[in-house]
Each structure stands twice: as structure tokens, then as C-alpha cells.
């Protein structure tokens, strides 16, 4: 298959009535192979969820792939109509708010049964398979939970049920968009354990979306840092946490609670407007490393042996980079 996901300079445009369009995703490169566990990180509003929605055919109706290319499972061009048959079966998404995914009018067993039906499980076997699936996700008393309705369950239990529905068809690619953000710390650990168990047993690929580097560090092997709709750095998680190349990655790591030993500092300023496409570096107004060239030079990428950085003056020489100059 090659890449499960291949985004190359991908951009998303949102059209608005009587107003100019928005460009919330402008230039995203992302390559995910079979079995990769990768993450998208960046502050709220940088385009992570829209990128995930592009990959699952769930963009808002007024949003389109506007530039670059996007290929799913090595065969589907996401610039064309989304192949509905792969959503929920080969590609599954877990959302931050599980309650929005669950049907308030249907029992849990029935809802998981629907997901199993989409995966081709015969009708007579669905109830038992739903209970087995809940049990395999360490849900206590799965028979009882299968009989309940979403409003009778805690938020953490609803998220586990939503995960059960996502995993029912044994997807090749799991996209988890802030899957633990609405959960308490104990439930978060349990949910991350469940996801890890599934990945270990299935060999599926993961795209984890999170603003929390602790969560990313727990599950992902590589990370793409996004800023203002652009992928600004990609590399192994350990490298980006210990020696980031992009000033924004460094500032993001410093502002994270991972740095408990040092005083965490928040990044001053805000994301730029998404009303225009940015040719120069979108981080320059907040960047402590900015020089005059940053205001008038189009940005390119410095590729390395296992990633890239999109910065005119990276904080380190990229491993395996030819020359170290932006291309
Ligand atoms: N349907 C929409 N209409 C207009 N703007 C949108 C829509 N969806 C998202 N946006 C905007 O696009 C930007 C990126 O959104 P999103 O991908 O949800 O960010 P993230 O997940 O990184 O927080 C934000 O500024 C958001 O307000
Ligand atoms: S291109 Fe310039 S302003 Fe942008 S991140 Fe790099 S050093 Fe900072
Ligand atoms: Mg989001």
C-alpha cells in the first residue's frame, strides 16, 4: 500500500457567504505508513481537527481541499469524493466529545451492534460480539452496560464505548482527536492503555491529535508540530522533546507541563488570522529568533533523514540534511 496517509502541501479553504474565504489549513505535509504511531500537536485553532476531518471525509460542507494533494490508504484521492465505504471500517475516528458520537435514543449494545454490522458481523452474533468487545476493553459488567443508554453512563464510560465502536471493525488507521481531553487523569490512563493494546495487537496505524505532549509522548513515536495551518516540524518524538529544531516546537515544549522542573512559560501573542494565505513564516511575530529575512522570504523546508523543519534559521542542523538550507 505504501503510505496509509500522504499529505503533500495540503491546504483547506472554507467558503463563506458574502465574506472572503478562510484558509485554516495552508500547508501540511504528513506521511503515515502501516503501523506508524504519529501525532499532530499545536495550540488550539492551528488546524489539527480540520486535517483529521479531511482524512475521514468529515469536512464541513463548505470546506474543500484547496491546494496540495491528499491520498488515503494508497489509493483514494481526497481531493475527490470521499470513499464512504472506508470510513468506520478501514479508517476510524475517535472524538474528544464521546457524547456527540453516541445516539441518545439507542442502547449501547444496539449501537455497538450497528458498528459490527458495518464490519460485516452477522446479525445473530452482534449482541454477543458487542458484549465481548466491551469486556475486552475492561469494562466491568459488560452485559449490564450493553443494556444501558448513554445518559446512564459517565463521560469516561461513554468514551470507552465510543472507542469500542471505533475499534469494532478493526480499522487499519485510527485517528484519535483529543481522545482524553474531557476525561479525568485516571480514566485518561485507562483509555490510553486501551488504545495501546489495540495498536499492539492489530498493527494498525495511529494519528493522535493532542495539545498535550504528555499524552503524545505516551503513545506516539513521531510527531508533526503544526502552527497556523502549517506543519512546521516533523521528527521522532524523543528528538522534538529534547532538541527541537523549530522555535515554535521549542516554545511549545517549554510551555508544556512536561517541563515540571523548569517554570513553564506560555507563548506570548496569538495565532495569525486565517483570512489570508501566509507565504512568509507565520510564527515571526512571536518568534524570539526572528531576523529581518523572516519577514520577506518565502518559507521552505529543511528535510532531514527522519523529518523536516520549516524555518529559515533552525535551532539545530537537521540530521542527514543536505546543506542545511531551506529548499
Ligand atoms: N466550519 C468552520 N467554519 C469556519 N471556521 C472554521 C470551521 N471549522 C474550523 N474553523 C476554524 O479553523 C481553524 C482551525 O480549526 P481546528 O482544525 O478545529 O483547530 P484545532 O483542532 O487545531 O484546534 C480555527 O480558527 C477554527 O475556528
Ligand atoms: S523562519 Fe524566522 S521567524 Fe520563522 S520560526 Fe524560523 S527563525 Fe522564527
Ligand atoms: Mg481540535
pLDDT, tens digit (0-9, with 9 covering 90-100), for 84-137: 888 888 999 999 888 888 999 999 999 999 989 887 889 999 999 999 999 988
- For the record, the C-alpha cell of 228 comes out as 497556523
Pick the residue whose CA is nearest to atom 1 on ligand 1.
60
Domain boundaries, the chain: 3-90+175-267, 97-168
Pairing of strands 91-94, 307-309: unpaired
- DSSP letter at 280? S
Cβ 247 under 6 angstroms from ligand 1: no
pLDDT band (50, 70, 90) for residue 325: very low
Q: Which ligand is nearest to the CA of 279?
A: 2
> Using one digit for the tens of pLDDT, what is the confidence trace for 225-276?
999 999 999 999 999 999 999 999 999 999 886 555 555 678 888 899 999 8
Strand partners, 67: 11
pLDDT band (50, 70, 90) for residue 186: confident
Strand partners, 37: 206
Q: Which atom of ligand 1 is nearest to the CA of 178?
A: 21
Question: What is the CA(83)–ligand 1 centre distance, in A?
Answer: 23
50-79 b/e (C-beta count within 10 Å ≥ 16 → b): bbbbbbbbbbeeebbbbbbebbbbeebebe
Q: Average pLDDT of 202-208?
A: 96
Mutate to test the pocket of ligand 2, among 227, 247, 280, 285 (most ligand atoms within 8 A of CB): 247
Cβ 48 under 6 angstroms from ligand 1: yes
**What pTM did the predictor assign?**
0.93
From the list 61, 56, 54, the residue with the least C-alpha distance to 166 is 56
Cβ 247 under 6 angstroms from ligand 2: yes
Helix, strand, coil % over all residues of the chain, rounded to 5: 30, 25, 45
Q: Average pLDDT of 41-53?
A: 95
Instruction: Look at residue 323 in the predicted model and tell me its pLDDT.
Output: 47
Question: Scanning the structure block, which residue is given the C-alpha cell 483547506?
Answer: 12
The CATH superfamily label for domain 3-90+175-267 reads P-loop containing nucleotide triphosphate hydrolases (3.40.50.300)
* Top-confidence residue, 96 or 176: 176
From the list 117, 109, 116, 153, the residue with the least C-alpha distance to 134 is 109
Is 245 in contact with 233 (CB distance < 8 Å)?
yes
Question: What is the CA(149)–ligand 2 centre distance, in A?
Answer: 51
Amino acid at each position: 500500500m505504501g503510505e496509509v496517509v500522504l499529505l503533500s502541501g495540503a491546504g483547506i479553504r472554507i467558503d463563506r457567504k458574502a465574506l472572503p474565504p478562510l484558509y485554516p489549513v495552508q500547508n501540511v505535509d504528513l506521511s503515515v505508513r502501516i503501523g506508524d504511531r504519529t501525532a499532530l500537536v499545536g495550540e488550539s485553532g492551528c488546524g489539527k481537527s480540520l486535517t483529521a476531518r479531511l482524512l475521514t471525509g468529515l469536512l464541513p460542507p463548505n470546506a474543500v481541499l484547496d491546494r496540495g494533494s491528499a491520498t488515503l490508504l494508497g489509493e483514494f484521492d481526497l481531493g475527490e469524493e470521499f470513499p464512504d465505504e472506508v470510513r468506520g471500517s478501514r479508517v476510524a475516528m475517535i472524538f474528544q466529545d464521546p457524547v456527540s458520537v453516541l445516539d441518545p435514543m439507542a442502547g449501547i449494545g444496539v449501537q455497538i451492534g450497528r458498528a459490527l454490522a458495518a464490519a460485516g458481523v452477522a446479525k445473530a452474533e452482534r449482541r454477543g460480539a458487542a458484549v465481548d468487545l466491551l469486556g475486552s476493553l475492561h469494562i466491568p459488567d459488560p452485559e449490564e452496560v450493553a443494556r444501558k443508554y448513554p445518559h446512564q453512563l459517565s463521560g469516561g464510560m461513554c468514551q470507552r464505548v465510543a472507542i469500542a465502536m471505533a475499534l469494532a471493525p478493526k480499522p487499519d488507521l485510527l485517528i484519535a482527536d483529543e481522545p482524553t481531553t474531557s476525561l479525568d487523569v485516571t480514566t485518561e490512563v485507562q483509555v490510553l492503555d486501551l488504545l495501546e493494546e489495540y495498536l499492539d495487537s492489530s498493527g494498525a496505524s495511529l494519528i493522535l491529535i493532542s495539545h498535550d505532549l504528555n499524552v503524545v509522548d505516551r503513545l506516539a513515536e513521531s510527531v508533526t508540530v503544526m502552527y497556523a495551518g502549517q506543519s512546521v516540524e516533523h521528527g521522532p518524538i524523543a528528538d522534538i522533546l529534547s532538541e527541537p529544531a523549530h522555535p515554535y516546537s521549542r516554545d511549545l515544549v517549554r510551555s508544556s507541563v512536561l517541563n515540571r522542573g523548569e517554570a513553564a512559560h506560555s507563548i506570548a501573542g496569538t495565532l495569525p488570522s486565517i483570512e489570508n494565505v501566509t507565504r512568509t513564516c507565520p510564527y515571526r511575530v512571536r518568534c524570539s529568533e526572528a531576523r529581518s529575512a523572516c519577514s520577506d522570504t518565502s518559507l521552505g523546508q529543511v528535510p532531514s533523514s527522519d523529518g523536516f523543519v520549516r524555518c529559515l534559521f533552525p535551532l539545530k542542523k537537521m540530521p542527514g540534511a543536505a546543506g542545511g538550507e531551506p529548499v
